[in-house]
Amino acid sequence: MIYARIAGTGSYLPGEPITNDDLVKRGVDTSDEWITARTGIRARHFAAPDTGSSELALVAARRAIEAAGCTVDDIDLVIVATSTPDFIFPSTATLVQAGLGIENNCAAFDVQAVCCGFVYALATAEKFIRSGSHRRALVIGAEVFSRLLDWTDRSTCVLFGDGAGAVVLEASDKPGVRAVALHADGSHHLVLWVPGHVSGGLVTGDPFLRMHGQTVFKLAVKVLEEVAHEVIDLAGVPQDSIDWLVPHQANIRIIQSTAKRLGLPMEKVVTTVDVHGNTSAASIPLALDCAIRDGRIRPGQRVMFEGIGGGVAWGAALIDF
């Protein structure tokens, strides 16, 4: 039996932290009190205007490869989860492949499931590895969501940040990824979206992120609890065997509510939303890398990832380290 195991992680945040007060100084009609109380966010990072997701992804990827103790030549699959690719095409994954200098015996493509993108990408890579067709995948979440923000819309622009996180997922005779559950319900595509597109040399429609915050909040709390139970059932493991929850970092109130519904104390939940904001597809691998590097998540422990984002698309994965 071939399983897929996470062999190493890496992450990257561009620039200095931008605090809530910094946003006020930049002219956003908000306050540190409001943002902290409603979201738990105190700071986020923004990439320089000429820095693309692929550049953030490259740094995170190099760190993950180093942590996994392998070389770029060992990588035969690159999957980048992003909703903010450098270009319409080619994929950000091909730019990462080129940046790393990986030869052409490697597949590379992007996955777009917005804030759940990393879980979708991990699930995809796991299936490649379990099939035996590929041995070692780089799975990356990378975003420059700052490019999509309308700075006059205070209900959205305070929530998001830029960054990248990566894992090396490799074939193993031990699990590894124990179970994954993915879902989507496109009937909700209007609750969180960027309506614009490029046509005839112009951006047609609204190029900024739009969101019905309360609808997203209610949907998130409901489906994240359901999918967490689903993945536990699929794996056939006891609920109390979970050592850590690494959730998508959208809002501390969503995270607290999910943890409460699962009966998990917050001491078992990795949170970085306070210092990263919502980095969409990058948020789970960024949080994971923090908790591995600071020694919280250790070999032998069991970890749940879960996320939800535009589409809406949501999912969870249960992984043994």
Our CB check for ligand ACO shows the closer of 95 and 216 to be: 216
Q: How many CB atoms lie within 10 A of CB 230?
A: 18
Our CB check for ligand ACO shows the closer of 91 and 251 to be: 251
Contact between 191 and 160 under an 8 Å Cβ cutoff? The reply is: no
Structure tokens at 284: 């789970």
Whole-number Cα distances in Å, 69 to 6, 72, 136, 172, 278:
12, 10, 12, 15, 30
DSSP state of 176: -
Shortest approach of ligand ACO to residue 153 CB, angstroms?
8
Our CB check for ligand ACO shows the closer of 8 and 309 to be: 309
Our CB check for ligand ACO shows the closer of 127 and 253 to be: 253
Residues within the interface to ligand ACO (CB under 6 A): 30, 34-35, 38-39, 115, 154-155, 158-159, 192, 211, 213-214, 216-217, 220, 248, 250-251, 278, 308-309
Q: E-assigned strands of the chain? A: 3-12, 18-19, 43-44, 77-81, 107-111, 136-144, 162-172, 177-184, 192-193, 197-199, 202-204, 210-211, 244-247, 302-309, 313-320
Contact between 273 and 255 under an 8 Å Cβ cutoff? The reply is: yes
Shortest approach of ligand ACO to residue 154 CB, angstroms?
4
Contacts of 317 (CB under 8 A, 6+ apart): 119, 122, 123, 177, 179, 180, 181, 231, 304, 305, 306
Shortest approach of ligand ACO to residue 16 CB, angstroms?
21
Our CB check for ligand ACO shows the closer of 34 and 87 to be: 34
Shortest approach of ligand ACO to residue 5 CB, angstroms?
27
Shortest approach of ligand ACO to residue 284 CB, angstroms?
11
Is 115 assigned a catalytic role? yes
User: What are residue 187's phi and psi, to 5 degrees?
Assistant: -65, -15
Is 278 assigned a catalytic role? yes
Q: Annotated catalytic residue: which of 248, 251, 276, 290? A: 248
Which residue's CB atom is positioned nearest to ligand ACO?
Answer: 213
Is 290 assigned a catalytic role? no
Instruction: Give catalytic residue positions.
Output: 115, 248, 278
